[in-house]
Amino acid sequence: MDSPHGAAVKAEDFGLKGPRGWAFRGVGIDAAPGSLIAVEGPSGSGRTCLLLALTGRMKPTRGHAEVGGHHLPKRMTAVRRITALGPVSGVNELDQALTVAEQLREGALLQRHYGAPVRAMLRPRAERRAAAEARIAAALEAAGLDLATLPKGERTSVRDLERLEAVRLSVAIALLGSPGLLALDDLDLKLSDTERVEAWDLLRAVAARGITVLAVCSEAPADAIVLRTSPKEPDAPRAPAASDTPAAAIAESGADAESREESGEESGTDTKTENDDTKGADDALAEAGRA
């Protein structure tokens, strides 16, 4: 596994608004490469949308940000290339039907096809296999996951992993691509106090390698740079509108975002004042899942 250079993260008045409200807004940060960044807030406050926007998976609608020298929203594709996601529900999850070994091999295969230079594809098959095994071993070591300690070793099913073991596996897969920034959603979900300490120790070790770490959590550690998302104030009661559908689309991502980046088209902001932020965040996440 290569030793990457961490990505600096900067943002000013960064926000994302959908048809029915703000997912998040007013975010500002200036973090150096190799920083440990925590996105702290209650569930439904836009934490996941902020993570996806800062990794180029969701298009912001206010302010600007810069990740690894690439400006958002103009360079979303470039930001995606230097960032890696841990599991995000509905976007990037571990496959529960695979074994741990199969999940790792799939991650290495995807990295070889989409992240490796062309000359690496021309190497003999045995050499490519050896290189993939070496990268997997290095990533597992960095993530602190010893396959020998699992109930069935590398043949353990992903669905049978403990929550912290699944986090470590996700980190290992993300590190296969030598990212400048590693982003994880709901880090402390379903973890005991002891496991939370171990999870943050893992991320500190990753950051110590020079990789910037961005983690969504309910409570940030004292040594992290903290971005806080606030619970939303409820709207006054109103009659439901016919247009209020769960599939309402907002930020562009994936192929749609890339096509607009190439044409240089800017995104606009909705001038109608709305405060249904929780619905806005749900709609944004649903749209990112289609990317």
CB-based contact 54:287 (threshold 8 Å): no
pLDDT, tens only, 243-262:
343 333 333 344 344 444 44
Token pair belonging to 16? 């994302």
1: DSSP letter:
-
Rounded distance between C-alpha atoms, residue 43 and residue 62, angstroms: 22
Token pair belonging to 48? 């996941």
Phi, then psi, of 64 in degrees rounded to 5: -150, 160
pLDDT, tens only, 77-91:
999 999 999 988 888
3-state DSSP call for residue 137?
helix
Among 38, 18, 17, 35, residue whose Cα is nearest residue 26? 17
pLDDT, tens only, 11-47:
999 999 978 789 999 999 999 999 999 999 888 889 9
Give percent of the chain above pLDDT 70.
Answer: 74
Q: Where are the beta strands (DSSP E) in 146-222?
A: 181-184, 212-217
Determine the pLDDT at residue 43. Answer: 85
CB-based contact 173:104 (threshold 8 Å): yes
pLDDT, tens only, 203-226:
999 999 999 999 999 999 999 999
User: Residue 102 pLDDT > 90, yes or no?
Assistant: yes
Determine the pLDDT at residue 119. Answer: 54
- 214 HSE (CA, 13 A, CB side): 33
Token pair belonging to 57? 């998976």
Rounded distance between C-alpha atoms, residue 42 and residue 288, angstroms: 20
C-alpha Rg value of the chain to the nearest Å? 19
pLDDT, tens only, 110-129:
876 555 554 555 567 777 78
Among 215, 181, 194, 164, residue whose Cα is nearest residue 41? 215
Pairing of strands 36-40, 21-31: unpaired
* Identity of residue 260: R
- How much is the pTM? 0.77
Q: Where are the beta strands (DSSP E) in the chain?
A: 9-18, 21-31, 36-40, 62-67, 70-72, 83-85, 181-184, 212-217, 225-228
